[in-house]
Structure 1
């Protein structure tokens, strides 16, 4: 018997799967918009500083306010998914997220902007646990891995896509309009989710208290904790590497904004590997996909650490690094959901939380290691990913 369980198929669900293209396309599109709210603000700090009469350094508190509120919101949205069902939370939470995103454009000073960003973070946190749980429950088993891969890699790509979109927007329009338009699109997406997504089976927690109890029980599962540890290394490594590229990368890149943008954007095609190759990747048992592709990313980033000033070679290694993470992250998500079928929303919320914590720690780790240089930082990330591989192997080993 293995410790890794495929997501269970409820007898009542057979033949009642959600339409694949409509479901995955809608959830991925809304997911990119919402996940990108964490990153788009970075390129908006300049014009925001002028309007809000605050320095760029002080405006970073708006990102902190969003991040803290988002992390807190995840702790509630997981149990709420288990209590009310994923489709209900997608619709209600999506409308709240859209309205709060639009309101961010109405800030008048630093304090009000921080408060509005905190409200936005709380609302946006409702999406990921509900979306991943919905896909786990309503996609046919043979399409589930591919659907999860589109969602996860859409979230990864939002870090690049929304920054490019925000940068292009502010060349012609106000930063306030960016948030208002994004909010409107999210509200429209929430309405579409309510009208176009089939209902999920009614087998949810009887109360929020029961749902929270389910979450606390998850923290006593050592295999899940090991998987959460692996998740911590994934996004932490991803953000650490791209922070290092910006701060300590090759001289020909860090002093050329266009070259830096090109190197970042070169990761986008890598994010298509997992969803497009899912029909072949699914033949690999999910537990091997999780640990194996984290290992591939570790090897790739170790190779990148020796690329020196060879930017093309660095780009190739970064492509493999991102592609490996793009395959591993949804595989680990699938394992997490299979290990906690009765508290899937809470389990996925915890997984999303550790991914976010990893993303928050990545820049801090890079800044602390600047003295060892670009190659040294990448080698440190490789070591961290090897630790993640070990944790994934422990979590999914045979009993």
Structure 2
């Protein structure tokens, strides 16, 4: 493992965080563009929701391939190739001539974007100095979470001024510029193995036989699953006055942005704690905050505060889970982390269905159910990280 000093890593962390916002944010940017795209393609606005699904499924499965490729080729190479390919597919989406072609191009865009996250986590685990790994992981995941708000806001502003196609035209060259910067700034990965890609892919099922890793993946499933479920519940059956005011609803969602900026710096101080302590305290904080919020589920201020505290807990637990996964499979850390990336995105995909299933229970029932889910996740994390020593 390369020994890098903390200072030079700053530029790398900033670069990868911006890339996470732009690349992962392509999942969500279409949500703010449903109405104008529906007009352009003469389709009902509700039918545009499929553009999120067809992006997400290839994204998740590409992530499973990306980790083993990072083990063989090195994380840097996969990151750069993913950014170049994502820039091209984002540009092509902007010129989609019809609805059917839009669906196809969004699937291709999701596939190329899916090769980004797992190699980034692998790069952090192998090629950044141990003193900055927790901070870097938290910053990347905060960027990915923030992209759900930031990229929707970006799409909304650009669409009004230039049209929805420019919401894809503008990020494309920026992502390409990030690829060139990554080629220059990122270190050549030290952990690349001299083995065939096929052998690296065969490591995936073997990893799923390790019960400690399965426990960590179970904890990871709750991270974005619970967060997205609450966001979906706010839109589906949150307080009526909140749902009737899109601006207020957006501000509640955006209430967690300051937390996303602050928590990575807090994690620097928490780095001395064991992985078990960070996972338990993080997911425990998220669970407790939502349980308390359920007592005032009709109050906008309570929902905003509860959501912010929930995000803080997720960002405390997430880097510890990633560290535990990477350390539990040191010879196949890329493959192990790719399953982690797949798992958190699977959780995000299941979140809306979880919220819809609990619609009869209302917002109180949803908050208490997600709190329970996160509490169970914290126990899974403690079990999985029990004998995993901190790096």
Q: RMSD of the TM alignment (CA)?
A: 1.5
The count of residues paired between Structure 1 and Structure 2 equals 388
Aligned residue among 338, 341, 351 for 2:340: 351
Range that drifts further, 296-305 or 192-201: 192-201
Q: Does 1:146 align with 2:135?
A: yes
Q: Does 1:340 align with 2:329?
A: yes
Unaligned runs of 5+ residues in structure 2 are none
- Give the drift of 1:16: 6.8
What does 1:274-285 align with in structure 2 at a 5 Å threshold?
274-285=263-274
SS of residue in 1 equivalent to 2:375: helix
2:208 is matched with 219
What does 1:158-307 align with in structure 2 at a 5 Å threshold?
158-201=147-190, 203-307=192-296
1:362 is matched with 351
Aligned residue among 62, 71, 89 for 2:78: 89
CA contact (8 A) 1:287 1:335 kept: no
Cα 1:15–1:323, aligned 2, differ >3 Å: closer, same or farther?
A: closer
Q: When the two structures are superposed, what TM-score results if normalisation uses the length of structure 1? A: 0.94
- Give the drift of 1:124: 0.4
**C-alpha offsets along residues 284-307 of structure 1, whole Å, 9 cap, x if unaligned?**
112210122101110110001111
CA contact (8 A) 2:6 2:131 kept: no
Distance 1:100 1:109 in 2: 16
CA contact (8 A) 1:232 1:355 kept: yes
1:7 is matched with none
What does 1:21-170 align with in structure 2 at a 5 Å threshold?
21-170=10-159
CA contact (8 A) 2:38 2:44 kept: yes
CA contact (8 A) 1:101 1:120 kept: yes
CA contact (8 A) 1:242 1:264 kept: yes
- Give the drift of 1:380: 0.7
SS of residue in 2 equivalent to 1:277: helix
- Give the drift of 1:396: 2.1
Unaligned runs of 5+ residues in structure 1 are 1-9
Q: When the two structures are superposed, what TM-score results if normalisation uses the length of structure 2? A: 0.96
**C-alpha offsets along residues 4-36 of structure 1, whole Å, 9 cap, x if unaligned?**
xxxxxx3xx235778211100001101110010
- Give the drift of 1:159: 0.6
CA contact (8 A) 2:4 2:127 kept: no
Range that drifts further, 376-385 or 265-274: 265-274
CA contact (8 A) 1:267 1:318 kept: yes
Range that drifts further, 117-126 or 47-56: 47-56
